Amino acid sequence: MPEQMEQAPRSQGSLPAEAAQPLLSIKGLRVAYGGIMAVKGIDFEVRSGELVSLIGANGAGKTTTLKAITGMQPISDGDIVFDGESVRGRPAHELVRRGLAMVPEGRGVFTRMTIDENLLMGAYTRGDKQGVQDDIDRVFSIFPRLKERRSQLAGTMSGGEQQMLAMGRAMMCRPRMLLLDEPSMGLSPIMVDKIFEVVCDIARQGVTILLVEQNAKRALELAQRGYVLDSGTMTMGGEASTLLDDPRVRAAYLGE
């Protein structure tokens, strides 16, 4: 893999004008845990067809933001608009049916189920049996290692294999937008390269992606745009290439 990974295709200029409209808009989002405000009134958007990275230090509120978007964490204030409609307070399973899927930090696979069973769980909202089988075959074409182990219990797999499975399971619902929370965490360098390569491939297929990733350099290299979250506050946002060159970002997140 080269040092500078190829970006997913840019949405603006390469897609129709209507495709560049926001698919996800976050407006004044505030999220509290007990008396602690973890996310403090942030605003950002992800346009249809984009790969956008959200970076920040541990405890910045990145995972909390994703959980709020997907209905897994109640919000204190603000709004979440997906495909032009407010989804604030909607349950996670309803958002999956609408095409909003998440690969959580730590993979979250069903450890006592096989690979095949995990993938079928990702398609639980669907009734098109042949389409589901076609998508399983597609996942196996992306991750041949999963096909080789399709009858293996997920809990006996390596961390990298579980990450492959978590991503494959999320793709089984045919998402319009995919939220990825720390997909490279705990993986070997070779496996990190593979996972990011697949993220780019998914983006090229037209899936909109919001990527939360502590490896800020790799995350911004992949993305068209990025945002910086610091202690629950959105401090910067813009073109990913601009953020990569910003001395504040380089000092705080790139170790330079």
CATH code of the domain covering residue 194: 3.40.50.300
Each residue's pLDDT tens digit, 18-58: 446 899 999 999 999 888 999 999 999 999 999 999 999 98
pLDDT band at 2 (very low <50, low <70, confident <90, very high): very low
In a domain, 142, yes or no: yes
In a domain, 10, yes or no: no
In a domain, 4, yes or no: no
Whole-number pLDDT of residue 4: 40
Nearest to 47 by CA among 192, 239, 197: 239
| Segment 131-143 mean pLDDT | 94
Q: What residues make up the domain containing 219? A: 17-253
Amino acid at 254: L
Each residue's pLDDT tens digit, 191-222: 899 899 999 999 998 999 999 998 899 999 99
Determine the number of helices (DSSP H) and then strands (DSSP E) in the chain: 10, 10
CA dihedral 61, 239, 78, 38 (to 10 degrees): 10
In a domain, 198, yes or no: yes
Q: What is the pTM of this model?
A: 0.88
In a domain, 8, yes or no: no
In Å, what is the CA distance from 81 to each residue of 126, 173, 209, 251? 24, 20, 15, 33
In a domain, 12, yes or no: no
In a domain, 3, yes or no: no
Whole-number pLDDT of residue 20: 65
Count of domains forming the chain: 1
Buried b (16+ CB within 10 A) or exposed e, 8-27: bbebeeebeeebbebbbbbb
| Segment 71-78 mean pLDDT | 94
DSSP 214: S
In a domain, 58, yes or no: yes
| C-alpha R_g of the chain | 18
Q: Is the pLDDT of residue 17 over 80?
A: no
Q: Is the pLDDT of residue 83 over 90?
A: yes
